[in-house]
Amino acid sequence: MDSAMQARFLAAFLDGLRAHGYVDGQTIAIAYRWAEGRFDRLPALAAELVGLPVDILVTAGPPAVRAAQQATTTIPIVVAAMHEPIAMGVVTSWARPGGNITGQVFPRH
């Protein structure tokens, strides 16, 4: 994800939270971690977040989802966008996804 797309994603995320009464630094605390395109850093970043007292993890993209999934089986993982979660092995099925992952799925075109 390039920096412009990352900025748009973050702005939309924060706008959505605000629309529901959540304001970073006031009603919730967000611990940000960015891999900056270095996917090899994702497992360490996910482990670092799991080591904090967090209530959920929010991810975007298959590498981040996999790193979060490997870091925890108990903390809910919200995936901002993913394609083919069954084929990726992220969920078992549509009817019974299992595990601790939820989120938004976009069909491939």
**What's the mean pLDDT when you consider all of the chain?**
89
Rg (CA), the chain: 14
Q: How many CB atoms lie within 10 A of CB 102?
A: 13
pLDDT of residue 43: 97
Q: Is the pLDDT of residue 108 over 70?
A: no
pLDDT at 107: 66
Q: pLDDT grade, residue 30 (50/70/90)?
A: very high
The whole-number pLDDT of residue 103 equals 81
| Torsion of the alpha carbons at 55, 15, 79 and 44, rounded to the nearest 10 | -60
Q: Across residues 76-92, what is the average pLDDT?
A: 84
42-51 vs 62-71: helix crossing angle, rounded to 10: 40
Architecture category of domain 39-105 in CATH: 3-Layer(aba) Sandwich (3.40)
Task: Provide the whole-model pTM.
Answer: 0.85
Return the pLDDT at 1. 61
101, 81 in Cβ contact below 8 A?
no
% of the chain surpassing 90 pLDDT: 53
C-alpha separations of 39 from 2, 35, 64 in Å: 13, 6, 8
- Over residues 38-68, the pLDDT tens digits come to 999 999 999 999 999 899 999 988 899 999 9
Residues present in the chain in total: 109
